[in-house]
Structure formats: structure tokens, C-alpha cells
Amino acid sequence: MFSGAIVAIVTPFKGGKVDEKAYRGLINFVIEGGVNGIVPCGTTGESATLSHKDHERVIDITVEEVNKRVPVIAGTGSNSTEEAIRLTRHAKQIGTDAALLITPYYNKPTQKGLYEHYKAVASACEIPLILYNVPGRTGVNMATETVIELSKIDNIVGIKEASGDLVKCSQIVRDTGDDFCVLSGEDSLNYPIMCCGGTGAISVTANVLPDKLSALCKAWNSRDVKTAQKLHLDLLDINQVLFIETNPIPVKTALAMMGKVVEEFKLPLCPMSEANKKRLAEVLRRHSCIS
């Protein structure tokens, strides 16, 4: 089972190419901050605009640099089942610990289509799979009943839930086995989802404050509710400001302000507005991320 603070890591670019040096530095920064896992090539890693070659290279670098210090959960989802299988097979071949698969976006499959999609990937790829439900980005919401049915497939081991629906999270926890993990996919709800039985979070904020996200999850898992709640409340401002524009624009801008990456995106993502940059900088100063 996957648990704790898992970082949905950004993909740094420089001159239109993956900035390997900055990326390796960021991997070590978050591991030293105490994270329990790394997700390359998720939404936060700009997977939608990476070429297949760069997508695979980013996962290769991650496995190499992490060197088994924490689990690597590769983002391998697609709105094409064949493509998802190909990306997942590559992740398995190079030694990732699991794969994270977003619900197929844009083509809006039915619930039966979602079930058949994940079943096909699970049948073709002998690697633990984590479902990823984020209807605000994909245009499709995986029903609770679909998740429960998919959890019965041996190598489908969990879900990253980013629908914002705590009732749904509670029902999934209640109606799936103890070995099926529910991970928060929305930083403002990390603590509430763990209160509902979630085992941790796949976090954007952990790029910037890996130590605090790790401390929150560790406090909760050690039943130190008071500390976990305090950290949750302390992080509310940064969890919110990192989503004032489309993810990963704010988090990448924050990391650039911290000197970790170059402020560069692949179109159609673009730099933040100056007004929002000022708001972001204020919050980063409050958390001593920048001076």
C-alpha cells in the first residue's frame, strides 16, 4: 500500500528541453524533505505536452536518480488505451514501483468504458496501478461503483481522488479492501481525506514544502491529531495560492522564485500574471521559502 506525502513533481525545462540538472536537484530536494514517493509525468509534470520521448526520458531519470530511496509512481495515463498500455509497459520495464493512470480525458467514456480501459491496462501490464480521478480537468467523473469494481482487479491497488467529494472518498474507503489505498489529489483536502480513511496524498505543495507535507502525514499516521490539524491549517494559504492559476503554473513559478528551476512552460501554459505572482510571493515569504 502507498501512503504518506507523495510528490507530484514538476518537469523543469530550459530552452525548450527537459532541464535534467534542475530535475535531479529537485528530486533530491523533495527526498531530503522526507517525501514517501515521487510521481513523474503527472498533470503537474506537464505530461499533456511532453513528447513520448521526453515522457519516457523523465521517468528514466526519476528511476535512476531516486535509486530506490522512495517508490516511483510513473504517470502513464492517456485518453488512448493503447497509448496508456505502451507508456505503462515502459514504466514497468525500467523499474518503477507503480503507475498512475488518469481517467481518459476529452473523449468522455461511459462508466463501462472506464472499467474496460483500466481492465485492459491491468491485464496487459503486470505492475501496481493507481487510478486517478480528477473530473475538473478531464471532463469525466469515475463513479464510486466503478472504483469499487476496479479495486477487485489484483494489480489495481489504489486511487488518487481529486473530485473534492469527501462522501465519495468515505464510500470508497468503506467498500474496498484494506489493501486498496485512497490518496488525496487535492492539497486543501489532504487532512480531511486522511480523516476519512485515506492513506496519504499525491501533492503539488510537496514540491515547495516537502518537509511540512511529510510532517503532516507522519503526524496523522502516528495518531498525533493535534499536530496534523495544525499543519493542515498552517498550509491552507499555500495550498490555495498554488492553484490561483492552472496547475502547474503557480508551483513552477514558486520553484523558480526559490531558485530550483527556470520559469519555463510548454505552450499553451504560460507565465503567471504579475498580480498573482505578487500574491504567490507573499505566501512564500510567510512560509520562509523566499526572503
pLDDT in tens, 252-271: 999 999 999 999 999 999 99
- pLDDT attached to residue 109: 95
Using an 8 Å Cβ cutoff, are 205 and 188 in contact? Answer: no
pLDDT for 158-175, tens place per residue?
999 999 999 999 999 999
Q: How much is the pTM? A: 0.95
What's the average model confidence in pLDDT over 141-166? 97
Query: In Å, how far are 114, 161, 214, 274 from 104, measured between CA atoms?
Result: 8, 15, 30, 34
Burial code (b: 16+ CB inside 10 Å, e: under 16) for 215-242 equals bbbbbbeeeeeeebeebbeebeebbebb
- Kindly state whether residue 97 falls inside one of the protein's structural domains: yes
Alpha-carbon distance of 63 to 256, in angstroms, equals 24
- Kindly state whether residue 38 falls inside one of the protein's structural domains: yes
- Kindly state whether residue 255 falls inside one of the protein's structural domains: no
Asked if 132 is an active-site residue, the reply is: yes
| Strand segments (E) across 170-241 | 181-184, 200-203
- 30 pLDDT higher than 80: yes
User: What are the grid coordinates assigned to 165, written together?
Assistant: 467529494
What's the average model confidence in pLDDT over 163-192? 97
- Kindly state whether residue 103 falls inside one of the protein's structural domains: yes
- pLDDT attached to residue 175: 97
pLDDT for 56-109, tens place per residue?
999 999 999 999 999 999 999 999 999 999 999 999 999 999 999 999 999 999
Surface-to-core class of residue 101, CB atoms within 10 Å of its CB (0-12 exposed, 13-18 middle, 19+ buried): buried
Using an 8 Å Cβ cutoff, are 43 and 240 in contact? Answer: no
- Domain containing 52: what range? 4-224
- pLDDT attached to residue 1: 77
Query: What is the tally of structural domains in the chain?
Result: 1
User: Residue 159 maps to which CATH number?
Assistant: 3.20.20.70
- Kindly state whether residue 252 falls inside one of the protein's structural domains: no
Amino acid at 237: D
Work out the mean pLDDT of the chain and round it to a whole number.
96
Asked if 112 is an active-site residue, the reply is: no
Alpha-carbon distance of 264 to 269, in angstroms, equals 9
Alpha-carbon distance of 91 to 282, in angstroms, equals 39
HSE (CB half, 13 Å, CA atoms) of 232? 21
pLDDT for 107-117, tens place per residue?
999 999 999 99
pLDDT for 211-239, tens place per residue?
999 999 999 999 999 999 999 999 999 99
- Kindly state whether residue 281 falls inside one of the protein's structural domains: no
Alpha-carbon distance of 222 to 201, in angstroms, equals 16
Catalytic choice (105, 132, 191, 218): 132
- Kindly state whether residue 289 falls inside one of the protein's structural domains: no
CB atoms closer than 10 angstroms to residue 275 = 9
Catalytic choice (105, 115, 118, 160): 160
- Kindly state whether residue 280 falls inside one of the protein's structural domains: no
